[in-house]
Structure 1
Amino acid sequence: MPRIEAGSVREHRAQRLAQLIDAAEAILGEGGVEALTAGAVAKRAGIARNSIYRYFDSIEDLLELVVTREFPAWIDAVERAIAAEATPEEQAAAYVRANIEQAARGTHGRRASLSRASLSPSARERVKHLHTSLHEALAGVVGELGVPQPELTVAVLQAVVDACIRRIDQGDEPATVADFAAAATHRLLTDAHA
């Protein structure tokens, strides 16, 4: 039985998995998807090659873990931003701003590129499901606004988020983009009520 390097088996597994994901991210950053092999990950993480399969079934599974690593914190940040606001209009603006801020803090561009080009269809579907949970939060807020076309409003607000995230991925100043997006959200919602 391997030596446990944490307070519990669960903590040990979480630490080891984090090490493996860190190793995979480093390899991807240096050599791309072609360099991501079981041997390279094991060597980088400092464990036996066959031991990595205790944590995931394949390199494709590890790649999915890399792509989705930031999602729990991202979703939590967006939900907290929405909850901090009192009105649905401010909650919608908070949704837009929080998504843009999360994209600016992380490695969204690289992860999105990996998701589009390197994940299996089933893994892409799981990533899509994670995005859907964010869209549902926005749909709930828009539903409270009572706008005449709630689904279209959600789609347009999400398009604002997506376009602004692409601008950040291309190098635009995140604070400027977030301010623009929040103002655009307020204008859109005002027009939707008109």
Structure 2
Amino acid sequence: MPKIEAGSVREHRAQRLARLIDAAEALLDEGGVEALTAGAVAARAGIARNSIYRYFDSIDDLLELVVSREFPAWTQAVEQAIAAETTPEAQAAAYVRANLEQAARGTHGWRAALSRGSLSPSARERVRSLHTSLREALARVVRELGRPQPELTVAVLQAVVDACIRRIDQGDELTTVSDFAEDATHRLLAPTTGQDFPGHT
């Protein structure tokens, strides 16, 4: 049995995979996708080149791991924010706020750019499915409101989140963007009547 560097084989594999992803991120930061080769990743991580493919099948798979690395923690943060609230309206606002807080941590912008420009179509689709699963948390909250057009409501709220994340990626202050997004969320979810819409008869 090969020597392991942790208390268990599982921990050993997790630590090595983390080193490989760290190495890939450093190479991407220094030289872009062109710098990401098997030899360079192995050398940076201090792992034999013939061993790295025990952890991923190709450089494209490694790119996908880089792009999706923060997704479990992001999802957990959003779900915890939702669970901390007791009404659907507050939970929807928590979904919006938590997503923006995660985006403001500083790495979303370049990961998103990498996803758009460097992943294979199949990898891009798998990353898209992760985002779809996250949006299901919002869909559940909106369905609890019991109002008409729940799918449209989810689409509009997600559009607010996506637009505000882009503003954060461009350098806008989190507090300013988050306040705007939460206000927009509350306005969208506030009970309305036909008289609230100009021209409605």
TM-score bracket, shorter-length normalisation: over 0.9
Q: Within 5 Å, give how 1:45-194 maps onto structure 2.
A: 45-190=45-190, 193-194=192-193
Q: Any runs of at least 4 consecutive aligned residues in structure 1 with deviations exceeding 4 A, and if so which?
A: none
SS at match of 1:105: coil
Report the AA paired with residue 171 of structure 2.
Answer: G
Report the AA paired with residue 57 of structure 1.
Answer: D
Q: Which has the higher helix share?
A: 1
Report the AA paired with residue 129 of structure 2.
Answer: H
Q: Distance in 2 between matches of 1:114 and 1:36?
A: 13
Q: Normalized against structure 2, the TM-score is what?
A: 0.94
CA displacement at 1:176 relative to structure 2 = 1.4
SS at match of 2:132: helix
Which runs of no fewer than 5 residues in structure 2 stay unpaired? Answer: 194-201
SS at match of 1:6: coil
What is the number of residues matched between the two proteins?
Answer: 193
Residue of structure 2 equivalent to 1:4? 4
CA displacement at 1:2 relative to structure 2 = 3.3
CA displacement at 1:106 relative to structure 2 = 4.1
Q: Normalized against structure 1, the TM-score is what?
A: 0.97
Q: Distance in 2 between matches of 1:106 and 1:146?
A: 36
Percent of pairs identical after alignment?
84
Judge which range, 4-13 or 104-113, deviates more.
104-113
Residue of structure 1 equivalent to 2:198? none
CA displacement at 1:124 relative to structure 2 = 0.8
Is the CA contact 1:70–1:106 (under 8 Å) kept in the aligned structure 2?
A: no
